[in-house]
Amino acid sequence: MSTEFILKEISKTELADCVDVIKMSFETVELPLEDYGTLDTRRLIFESDNGNVMFGLFDDEKQIGFAELDKRENEAVLKKLCIIPQYRSEGNGKVLLDFVIKSAGELGYDNITANLRADDKGLEQWFLSRGFDFVETRYIPVIDRTITKLRAVLDMGVYR
């Protein structure tokens, strides 16, 4: 593997490749918060057209990670943060997370939230170890899941 990692915002023309990265990444995760089995390029284009910003992490030209920032009125919401399996446990998730957080700060947000499956304590600990704080755990009937909401407070894109 190369050490030439590139982080960038993804354009609409690159979203088809992102679908493959997301699906490949979540194949190894039991019951992700969202159902990615039906994810397609149209959905990512729709989310992009509605103001969400997409990010990619690349090893040279190969996309190895993806994250989405849902820009809401009062907070930025991190969605679909993922790294393909063979690039995990090398700090790549942290690199992508830091880039998305910095971007949220540059967009003027003073916090970023992440919603996780409440039973995924390993992922919750991963976020907590990276400066996020617990907000709440609640049941959402529409998706029939209990989620844990975490938040990182930012100061110009830097954790406080």
Mean pLDDT of 132-155: 89
Q: How many residues does the chain have?
A: 160
Between 61 and 148, whose confidence is greater? Answer: 148
pLDDT at 1: 44
Percentage with pLDDT > 90 across the chain: 34
Structure tokens at 105: 């700060």
Task: Report the alpha-carbon distance of residue 35 to residue 41 in Å, rounded.
Answer: 14
Using a 10 angstrom Cβ sphere, with 0-12 exposed, 13-18 middle and 19 or more buried, the burial of residue 22 is buried
pLDDT at 58: 93
Collapsing DSSP states into helix, strand and coil, what is residue 145?
Answer: strand
Q: Evaluate if residue 100 carries a pLDDT over 60.
A: yes
Mean pLDDT of 89-112: 90
Going by pLDDT thresholds of 50, 70 and 90, the confidence category of residue 22 is confident
